Structure 1
Amino acid sequence: MSKENKHITVFEHESLRTDRGEQRLTNGQLEALQLFYGENGVPYYSLIHHGVRFNEYVGVIQVGKTVIEVLPKADKSNDADRWRNVLINMLHAVGIFDIHAPSNSNLRLRSNSILDLYFELFIKEVEYLLHRGLVKKYRKTEGNRTALKGSIQFAKHISQNLVHQERFYVRHTTYDKEHDIHAILYKALKLLSYINTNVQLNSRLGALLLDFPELYDIKITEALFDKIALDRKTEPYRNALEIAKLILLNYHPDVNRGTNNVLALMFDMNVLWEQFVYVSLRRHKANATSIAAQNTKNFWKPLSGYRSKMKPDIVLNKDTEDCVVLDTKWKNLNGYNPSPEDLRQMFVYMKYYGAKKVALVYPGSENRNQSGQYYDHSSQDSKHLSNEECSVISIGVEKDVKAWQKIIHENISNWCQLQEIV
């Protein structure tokens, strides 16, 4: 495989350098990543001497034609295929890879990376839209016409048509497929045809560009996507637009040489783990159980200014005597205690939510629950333990995502010992 088109796989918190290691960056690739990092930095990696060190973000960074895949890891296993499947299964479970097309729309590729899945998902969505027929919308247009249609713009008509009296400068309404939604999708298709490295997708991209109407170039900004309001006719475009937004807003062209463009599709594993545990509990919960994610309570208020708030990851049975607070952390403790900051945070949650139990939920190599007691803070003698506990729940990673979700539910339910959840 050539240096211009290759695949590099690393795990979170590992490094890539130009001067050492089995997998190396070229000087041009490192320069592109340094420029992408900029003065304000990015959360995906930090700069080190002659290289970069990845953080807790996972996914794909494409530099030119080189795909750098960053995988999660919660134990000592270095099996890239296993952890790639774990990541893809977690993304599927939380709804990242929801597809709009009918039942025959399963992703066909045995993909090398998350990037391939995103590209194929976008292609599948656009194929689906073309099959059902692209939506037409009304738009205002103006210009010279040989027939009188709409309203004459007299100032421009007189200035442009003094010697062309057979023409009319008019403003009128047109009903066609030339609108911003299609312009966004067309721009995303053109970008994919330029940066795609998977030969299995080339023919489908080529066919889409032939079938899709050629549209005007549109400037991509957050504000552009914010102003798009989908209605009953355009609702089927939602998935395709979300993927196009993700790809177009995270693409950073190399304005100097044009060869080391950067596309970053990365996910915070702490956020993904929190969402995965939440949807796993919600999937199996009983009707009598309430479950809330990111529940907010006021915590502190200054004499002037804004209040501070607390926001635990998951709250079960809020405002009841069986209230339970969970906080998820994507890290392997390897037999060590949780950090003092995490333990203090859980103590505050216990007090403010009146929780019966609190726990920190980690991934691990095996299923294990361990409880610990806080010291009695009401006594001057700090040697005595109180009845207030904070537990550490480690959940082993499973290949089968549905079995994994069931294990998460069973472990937490057994620890809770709440009849409503079991």
Structure 2
Amino acid sequence: MNRTITIAEYDRIHINDVLQGIKITQKDILELRNFIDESNGEISSLSEYLKPIRNGVQANNYVGVLQTKSGLTIEILPKISRTHQNHVEVKKLFIRMLRTVKQINGKSFDMSHLSEHKNNVLELFISMFISEVDRILKRGLKSDYITTRSNETFLKGKLLLQQQIQHNSVNKAKFYTEFDEFEVDGAENQIIKTTLTYLLSLSHEAKNQRLIREQLLCFENVNVTYNPPVTFQLISKKRQFSYYERAIKWAEIFLKRKSFTSFKGSSLAFALLFPMEAIFEAYIADKMKRAFPDFKVGTQEQQYFLFDGHGGSKSSYRLRPDIIIRSNHESGNVVIVDTKWKLLKADGPSQSDLYQMYAYFTRYRHHSETVVKVILLYPKSDHYGERVFKSFNFSDNQSDLEAKIEVKYIDLFSNNIESQLQNIVADF
């Protein structure tokens, strides 16, 4: 039975809740809470992905899909604003944003081909893997020489004396040998077949199931691996088989159950979770590059430190703004943008965010960069208006701009994201 529910960031689910016609059982909540407990003590904190609450759990700011062993699939979508609660619309936006992600937590992926027309997020990622396997099949399955040990009726390859004595001391007509055979049953193909077999049990969509069965026919002469971690280590890095790379990366996500996160454990059947801050930043950076094709748009620059005389010391605090836009004109103007995946409330930006932007403005100007302004960019909010924070340095009856921090919003559901960004950066 397909038990799939869709929630947003920070939504809560409790025992006996009925969501989209699906009843949440005590076993569902127990497995989710066990997942939280297993994640405790890892690099992440206990409640990074899910937070335990009375008789239930609460989602945090990780989005994607997870499935319990009892069969409950939970799609967690971005929480955009109170005015956008249409899950279909939000899901399409989420996929559009996800397509721009190139790397998360050190893992590189090409998700530019994700289709926003699929209704189920889990099936969407399964179809991505199917597409990668299809690319492999069109190029041809990798064949290679594989070392085999076998008790044969004739001498082939190298005779293994110790095994010969152990197995054939009575039957002298056999030879325990080691030899190389050119075949498709290599580590890469075993990983692909194992992943397809696993996803066949995970998928509930008829089309994906049909495609997986068709692909498995091509792996008839390939064995399933029952120890994927060891098999992953045996994968060859030969350049002529680089077309396997994407499929192997997706297979690692599915089989190792590590997702784009750092959790471990066995309470969940599957989890593919993304930090929403990273998705928002990647999306805005991609749109910025399109909005300003004649400018230099960089991301995660690490050029300067918060303090002078760093000498490579960690305590000097390297600055790492999300997006830097540099003009190619003689002015050399610079705009610094930090994306913040928060729905601002009436009290406005946090003090730490403003301190961070003030540091960017002053330190980049200290290094003779012509910083025009720095921008805190949030998804659209109805509770706090756009505004500008300024500070001045007064000396000799004159005032020089010491810092200019702008709080700006982006309407993610708009069709003219690039025009919005041009207006936000404005007098550049």
The two structures share one fold, judged by TM-score above 0.5:
yes
Report the secondary structure of 2:99's partner residue. Answer: helix
1-structure distance, mates of 2:375, 2:98: 24
The match for 1:309 is 318
The match for 2:407 is 392
Task: Provide the alpha-carbon RMSD of the alignment.
Answer: 3.2
TM-fit CA distance, 1:21 = 6.2
Report the secondary structure of 2:24's partner residue. Answer: coil
Report the secondary structure of 1:330's partner residue. Answer: coil
Cα–Cα, structure 1 residues 330 and 84, in superposed 2: closer, same or farther, change >3 Å? same
**1:361-388 Cα shifts (integer Å, max 9, x gaps):** 1111699853211365x89xxxx99542
The match for 2:31 is 32
Report the secondary structure of 1:309's partner residue. Answer: coil
The match for 1:219 is 227
The match for 1:103 is none
TM-fit CA distance, 1:110 = 4.2
The match for 2:356 is 345
2-structure distance, mates of 1:310, 1:152: 63
Q: Quick check: 2:9–2:79 contact (8 Å CA) kept in 1?
A: yes
The match for 1:7 is 4
The match for 2:201 is 194
**1:240-281 Cα shifts (integer Å, max 9, x gaps):** 1122112222279997xxxx7431111111110001111111
TM-fit CA distance, 1:149 = 2.4
**1:170-223 Cα shifts (integer Å, max 9, x gaps):** 2222221111111111111111111212233222222222332341424234x8
1:358 counterpart = 2:391: no
Q: Quick check: 2:156–2:179 contact (8 Å CA) kept in 1?
A: yes
The match for 2:124 is 117
1-structure distance, mates of 2:292, 2:112: 25
Q: How does 1:367-382 map to 2 (within 5 A)?
A: 370-374=387-391
Q: How does 1:35-74 map to 2 (within 5 A)?
A: 35-39=34-38, 40=40, 41=46, 43-63=48-68, 64-74=70-80
| Amino acid across the alignment from 1:410 | Q
The match for 2:422 is 410
Cα–Cα, structure 1 residues 158 and 110, in superposed 2: closer, same or farther, change >3 Å? same
TM-fit CA distance, 1:394 = 0.5
1:17 counterpart = 2:14: yes
Cα–Cα, structure 1 residues 17 and 29, in superposed 2: closer, same or farther, change >3 Å? same
Q: Quick check: 1:33–1:262 contact (8 Å CA) kept in 2?
A: no
Number of residue equivalences? 393
1-structure distance, mates of 2:425, 2:311: 42
| Amino acid across the alignment from 1:312 | P
Q: Quick check: 1:180–1:218 contact (8 Å CA) kept in 2?
A: no
Q: Quick check: 1:253–1:262 contact (8 Å CA) kept in 2?
A: no
| Amino acid across the alignment from 1:185 | I
2-structure distance, mates of 1:131, 1:38: 44
1-structure distance, mates of 2:57, 2:168: 62
TM-fit CA distance, 1:17 = 0.7
TM-fit CA distance, 1:302 = 9.1
1-structure distance, mates of 2:419, 2:286: 13
**1:15-36 Cα shifts (integer Å, max 9, x gaps):** 1111556565210011111111
Cα–Cα, structure 1 residues 42 and 116, in superposed 2: closer, same or farther, change >3 Å? farther
Report the secondary structure of 2:228's partner residue. Answer: coil
TM-fit CA distance, 1:86 = 0.4
Cα–Cα, structure 1 residues 399 and 237, in superposed 2: closer, same or farther, change >3 Å? farther
Cα–Cα, structure 1 residues 73 and 298, in superposed 2: closer, same or farther, change >3 Å? same
TM-fit CA distance, 1:79 = 0.9
TM-score, with length taken from structure 2? 0.81
1-structure distance, mates of 2:161, 2:212: 45
TM-score, with length taken from structure 1? 0.82
